Structure 1
Amino acid sequence: MNTPPPLDAATEQRLHPWSWLFVLLMQLRQGLVPLIALVVFGQRGDRDELWLSLGPVIAVVALVAYSVLQYLTYRYRIGTSAITVRSGVFARNRREIPFARIHNVVVHQNPLHRLFGVAELKLESAGGHRPEAEMRVLKLDQALALERLVRQRGQAVPATAEGDAAAPEPAEDVLLALSPGEVVRIGLLSNRGWVVVVAVLGAMVQLFPRGSVSDVIEAGGRQAFGYASHLHPGMWLWTIAAVVAVVGFWVMLRVLSVVLALLRYYGFRLSEHERRLTVASGLLTRMRTSVARRRIQAWTLRESALQRWFQRRQLRIDIAAGNPGEGERRDLRELAPLATPAVCDRLVQHLLPHLQWPPARWQPVQMRGWWRLCLGALCLVPLLTAAAIWYGGPWGALVLLWLPWSAFRAHRQMARIGYHLDDGYVAVRGGWWQRWWRFAELDKLQALRLTRSPLDRRLGTASVWLDTAGAGMGTPLALHYLPEAQARAVYDQLGRALAKRRLRW
């Protein structure tokens, strides 16, 4: 994506002339199932009823007409402080979108976009569940120029249109760029291949009649075992065959993971420009999304056991945004999909220079309640063992071996739990096999909660929950298993910091 030319902000502008085609393709994709149903039921109707056979054609013609009308009625004008969008086929709408309200600009290019040299642009606000404006589609240089304009005029001191047009574009400061080899490593160190396996199994269950999939698998298994039995294999050959099958399946998962990683992260580049972070990535579908640094609410570092052995971890952020779960990955969430611990720490230190990261010392929690982390296994495993012995005989007692492993894992997890609190930020850490660190600036806290479960009251402990804007369904920002007096002291300290923030408002 090259440096774009300046925009003409004097008159209203239209979308790309081929915009109607992309809108039509989107409509066809969303209405594919109804169209197929219309074709099937139309073929089953009376041959004299032409409208049944012409139904799909009429539907497609109506979608084409709607797409062309949407292109003809969509206009936008670039002002000094806002973008004005006029749209609507039957009901006319006019929207004023201030530059200061736009927190994220997404430039999206799928392979068809790249073939036509166009891009889809979305303007998103902090509190909206849908984009403030969706422009399908613009010329690529026009979309990049509009992204640049939003980035410039969204600063605290807006500039004039003439000044923006004449000002040279400063170079972006590249904070992280992943080579193709590093992207391949992302796939090798992840389990993304399971996504494809589960999707294929789900599609087979949906497309084929009930029971046919299991019948095919059973027939194939019988044929394979029947062929193998004619060879009269011994125990060693069966063992080798089982090992080869497991290794082959594992290799297939790694290959699928690498393919998915290349499709998503190829050409990954994190850059900074005028206190705004921008990420561009993707092999076939290119995605360019950005966010202002002030919108970042919380930070999460995570590493699996496999990633830790290869000295790699991930860096993710929560941002003050709308609903991120509407099916399309739009928000900037990953600052480092995979990087060394030193690189992740340098990114945090660069973006939060007023904070000390990593903390010099972590406050541990008491170890006497470590068993509560394996309480579920202590209750469930004996029941599973009894059921296994009932159905499988004495060999079912092997299920009890899960108890010592669960106890060992719980003890190690409790030993790693800790927190850090100072005048600038609060941080928590946890996990043993899958380790994580999560922290947020005190200025970004939205609410506090102090909770005590019945088990907490029995052990004299409590938990402090910290809410930030944009927090997802992942690891919560919470301080668990603290002594009650310590938890109340932490709650009071954070409450005073939260009160100071409200006074500044």
Structure 2
Amino acid sequence: MPDAGAAAPQERRLHPWSWLFVLLQQLKQFIFPLVALLVFGGRGSRGGEWAALGPAIAIGVLVVISVVQYFTYRYRVGRDSLSVRDGLLHRTLREIPFARIHNVVVHQSLLHRVFGVAEVRLESAGGQKPEAQMRVLSLADALALENLVKHRGRAAEAGQAQAADSLLTLPLREVVRLGLISNRGMILVAAAFGAAWQILPEDRMASIFRDGFRQAFGYASHLQLGWLSTAVSVASLIVVAVVLLRGLSVLLALLQYSGFRLSEEQRRLMVERGLLTRLRTSVARRRIQAWTLQEGLLHRWFKRRSLRIDTAVAEQQNQGEQRALKELAPIATPAACDQLVQHLLPQAQWPREDWRPLPVGAWWRLFLPTAAVVALLAGVLSWRFGAWGLLALAWLPWGVYESRQHARRAGYALDTQLIAVRGGWWARYWRFAEIDKLQALRLSRSPIDRRCGTASLWLDTAGATGMAPPLRIRFLPEAEARALYEQLGRALARRRLRW
């Protein structure tokens, strides 16, 4: 308890410009309805003047809400916790212990940097939103609050502050490689297409595609190209599209990962990245629940991998950007990824050499979904086009080869500290977790498993996302699966869950 004679900490307000950033955030959320009301609202004969005034009235209401939020939002930095009070009619008081904060995010957009401010997000395990989102504080106050969370409310004394150890940096050439490997350009184009389809009328989008196809077909007919020239032209267009998409991916990688630096201080990991918008996020090492190493075909060409982690914090994206610390190494050499794992998990053995493969006959279980889909597709095409539809069955040999490759690479490894699985062929992954971080075990047997005498073991940890491959061991003989299930169950019963 604090001393009786000590002065109670005073409540503080956000930065005086915070109302402006709250307003801008609200305008981003309502920009499409406001634009639609402004463009389409005044076309009718009645009430056109009110429809024109609607956006101005809505913006005025948002300004009032932003100013009220500034005057009603207070926070107090205590000795071991942070108190946040907000609300005018419906008032809320939240007490957030520093020890319960899993992730700290300091976010600076280009506008934040112009005003010398930053947004701070404090996240704990679970929930759908952060425990506290301070929009905005001065940069000095934001960094001071981040420092308090790092040291659990005790400010670092002068001369005793420990410098952060740099674990990984990405020079410009590595960021460019990341852009060439990733498909961020394709994702952005797909998102823009989806947004245009939602905003514009459906008949308008259909007419755009129809007119564009007619113009392209008419231009090609006017040129009177032969089949070889047509094939070369189509191939050239595909190459140009691929180059443009990769260029867009490189540009996005430069904007998001320029100046990437992974550092460690007081057993807390911190990542700083971004060109125009700077993002600074940190998480305690003990909060890491699982690890994922991934490499695709382009990764192998460039001899690179990526290292991601799962943390037990709220999964929330802001404006399409994931702010929680999930990527320890967006791109790095396999040796650098292994060194990071060895440094952060010194008690575990990595890389593993004792992988236990799946049974030899497991490939046909992986082939079953492909065979079912191809057979259904061939039946539908045969009914529609006759015997030509049976050409879809030509995919079956490739499906057999692919399933064999997946089964050949799949496996698992287990010791007293770590459980690891690997899989994939075209795109490969290694996923592992400390046994102390496992929260549940599940032994699963489908009707086919009961027929074949096999079983699958699922292992659950906190913070797993849909992007990460599941932590599971499939198609084991039933006796082996049950023995592994009982072994892990006894280990979990003897140990304390390290959250």
- My pick for the range that moved more, 230-239 or 207-216, is 207-216
Query: In the TM superposition, what whole-angstrom CA distance separates every residue of 1:58-88 from its partner, at most 9, and x where no partner exists?
Result: 3323322222222122222222111122222
Partner of 2:3: none
Query: In the TM superposition, what whole-angstrom CA distance separates every residue of 1:176-220 from its partner, at most 9, and x where no partner exists?
Result: 111121111111112222212212322332233323333333333
Partner of 1:178: 170
Partner of 2:99: 100
2: distance between equivalents of 1:43 and 1:405? 57
| 8 A Cα contact 2:109 2:276, kept in partner | yes
Structure 1 counterpart of 2:233, from 231, 234, 241 = 241
Secondary structure of the equivalent of 2:439?
Answer: strand
Q: Percent identity?
A: 59
| 8 A Cα contact 1:42 1:55, kept in partner | no
| 8 A Cα contact 2:42 2:49, kept in partner | no
Partner of 2:478: 484
CA-CA distance at 1:169 after TM superposition:
2.9
Give the alignment of 1:41-440 within 5 angstroms. 41=41, 44=44, 54-153=53-152, 159=154, 164=156, 166=158, 168-324=160-316, 329-392=322-385, 395-440=388-433
1: distance between equivalents of 2:207 and 2:86? 53
CA-CA distance at 1:357 after TM superposition:
0.2
Query: In the TM superposition, what whole-angstrom CA distance separates every residue of 1:269-290 from its partner, at most 9, and x where no partner exists?
Result: 1111100001111122211111
Query: In the TM superposition, what whole-angstrom CA distance separates every residue of 1:412-466 from its partner, at most 9, and x where no partner exists?
Result: 1111111101111110111111111111111111011111111111211111111
- 1:501 maps to a residue whose letter is R
| 8 A Cα contact 1:315 1:335, kept in partner | yes
For structure 1, the residue ranges without an aligned partner over 5 or more in a row are 1-7
- 1:145 maps to a residue whose letter is A
CA-CA distance at 1:396 after TM superposition:
3.9
| 8 A Cα contact 1:295 1:319, kept in partner | yes
| 8 A Cα contact 1:9 1:78, kept in partner | no
1: distance between equivalents of 2:405 and 2:469? 18
1: distance between equivalents of 2:366 and 2:444? 17
| 8 A Cα contact 2:410 2:422, kept in partner | yes
Query: In the TM superposition, what whole-angstrom CA distance separates every residue of 1:223-245 from its partner, at most 9, and x where no partner exists?
Result: 33333333332222112112101
For structure 2, the residue ranges without an aligned partner over 5 or more in a row are 1-6
In structure 2, relative to structure 1, the CA distance for the partners of 1:460 and 1:140 (3 Å cut) is: same
2: distance between equivalents of 1:35 and 1:230? 45
| 8 A Cα contact 2:293 2:307, kept in partner | yes
1: distance between equivalents of 2:275 and 2:198? 30
| 8 A Cα contact 2:259 2:272, kept in partner | yes
Secondary structure of the equivalent of 2:102?
Answer: strand
Number of aligned residues: 490
In structure 2, relative to structure 1, the CA distance for the partners of 1:68 and 1:503 (3 Å cut) is: closer
1: distance between equivalents of 2:43 and 2:383? 56
- 1:25 maps to a residue whose letter is L
- My pick for the range that moved more, 472-481 or 288-297, is 472-481
2: distance between equivalents of 1:466 and 1:237? 55
- 2:362 maps to a residue whose letter is G
2: distance between equivalents of 1:373 and 1:313? 25
CA-CA distance at 1:143 after TM superposition:
0.7
Partner of 1:497: 491
TM-score (norm 2): 0.92
Query: In the TM superposition, what whole-angstrom CA distance separates every residue of 1:321-356 from its partner, at most 9, and x where no partner exists?
Result: 223467652211111111111000000000000111
CA-CA distance at 1:309 after TM superposition:
2.1
Partner of 1:3: none
CA-CA distance at 1:26 after TM superposition:
1.5
In structure 2, relative to structure 1, the CA distance for the partners of 1:391 and 1:119 (3 Å cut) is: same
In structure 2, relative to structure 1, the CA distance for the partners of 1:287 and 1:366 (3 Å cut) is: same
- My pick for the range that moved more, 140-149 or 437-446, is 140-149
In structure 2, relative to structure 1, the CA distance for the partners of 1:269 and 1:488 (3 Å cut) is: same
2: distance between equivalents of 1:10 and 1:412? 63
TM-score (norm 1): 0.91
